[in-house]
Chains A and B, each alone.
Chain A
Amino acid sequence: MPMADIELKDWVELSRSVTDEDRERTAPPPDLWTRIEAGLGDATAPSATSETLTADDHALPSEPTPVIDLTQERTRRAPRARRRVRRYAAMAAAAAATVVVLGVSAIIGQEDTSSYIAQATNAELPEAFEGTAVASVNSDATQISLEFSSDLPSAEPVELWLIKPDLSDMVSLGLVQDDGTFVVPEGFDVSEYSVVDLSIEPNDGDPTHSGRSILRGQLQST
């Protein structure tokens, strides 16, 4: 819930749920700062992701991307998939999905720092969700921001995924409750993992995609 909307009674409720454990603070191990400093060297180097964004990647699509039938894509998938990908069957069965591409520059307006943008919709997805999302990627393609047109369902967790259009691989960016910014995991290029997908993920201990997508869209370079 956005903090600005939180009312006094919510504060009362939240404070009463505080446990002794919530008050416990443990100092990190003494060598941790040294490790962070050591890691900063790598962090300031230009990332491989930004280097792979060539001029071609930034060209506007002349026409909408064709509808991708995920069921068909499933069968064309290379037999040796990476372990990150599981449960294709469930996902593919659930998702004979239409990928919708909208005019790009019109959406982004003042957001000229975005390198990629997608409008995610529920077109032909199995789970009923009335709403859309705009996904925009920051200029160095390290983060993706989501803006929803309406509240997400709250009964079960919703998870954000980036998926290769040919479904050969996917990666989770974490759970989503509201508008927010998510880090694109290192080693994943949004020009390759260009399908933005939001799925209902029941708390069943299974970290793979449930197949229950509620929104999906194709990232386009801006």
Chain B
Amino acid sequence: MHLRGDLRAYPWGMALLATSELRTEDTAHSLAVAELERAFATGPESLLRDAYDLFGSLVYSLCRRSVDDAAAADITQEVFIAAWKNRHRFDPARGGLAPWLTGIARNKVIDHFRARGREDRRVEQAKHAFIESPGELEDVALRMLLVDAIDTLPERAQTIISMAFFEDLTHVEISARTGIPLGTVKSDIRRSLERLRHGLGYAHG
């Protein structure tokens, strides 16, 4: 990837140089997610709809990497039903709802492959040549979660994180290029990494 030097080429957050007053507050999306995660384990059934609205596309798109559209819809249905059935197990202190859901999705895709494999293994093997195998799905999920997690960072943090991740720039270099004070760069990165960890991982107890 050749991103060096042109902020407009960054995949995430390119409004940095256009604004002098930089936003540091959380995006509305992340506030909605945090609210949902707090209430999910014990709240009303309407929360499942909220989770579906926020993460239905993510789960469905992840499944489509491994199986056809019809199976992806079936598995997505199973994922959200299983999520609701096991909602009391979800603890936002362990990680985000998105990685929790993609973890369930991955297991369901594996189940699907195993069930299908018992019926007609040759068909599955032929398909394996073109699609992600269930074993690779965890990495796919991680990358998709990263895309979403960075996307929902505040704009300034998106830009700083993009420079740190894609250009491997040091804090000092990022500060020099953007004119953002070094201390702000450091604290933005630290806070962003916390958010990304939460958005990408779920530690099962």
Residues on A lying within 8 angstroms of B by beta carbon are 2-4, 6, 8, 11-12, 14-19, 21-29, 32-33, 35-36, 39-40, 42-44, 83-84, 138, 142-143, 145, 157, 172-175, 177, 179-183, 185, 203, 205-207
Contact = CB atoms under 8 A, between A and B. Distances in A.
B133 A203 contact: yes
Nearest to B144: A22
Contacts of A175: 110, 134-135
Interface of B: 1, 11, 45, 48-49, 52, 56-61, 64-65, 69, 72-73, 76-78, 80-82, 84-86, 89, 95, 103-104, 106-107, 110-111, 113-114, 117-118, 121, 124-125, 128, 133-135, 138-140, 142-144, 146-147, 150, 164-166, 168, 193, 196-198, 200-201, 203-205
B107 A183 contact: yes
A209 to B, nearest CB: 11
Given A15-B146, A84-B118, A174-B111, A28 B60 contact: yes
A35 B75 CA distance: 11
A14 B146 contact: yes
Given A2-B201, A35-B77, 7 more contacts: A2-B203, A3-B95, A18-B11, A18-B147, A28-B72, A143-B89, A206-B117
A145 B205 CA distance: 7
A83 B115 CA distance: 10
A181 B106 CA distance: 13
B53 to A, nearest CB: 9
Given A27-B56, A28-B76, A207 B107 contact: no
Contact of B124 (A11, A14, A21, A205): A205
Given A28-B76, A205-B121, A43 B134 contact: no
A179 B204 contact: yes
A203 to B, nearest CB: 6
B138 A177 contact: yes
A22 B81 contact: no
B165 A29 contact: no
B113 A207 contact: yes
B189 to A, nearest CB: 8
Contact of B64 (A19, A26, A205, A207): A26
B89 A207 contact: no
Contact of B203 (A3, A22, A27): A3
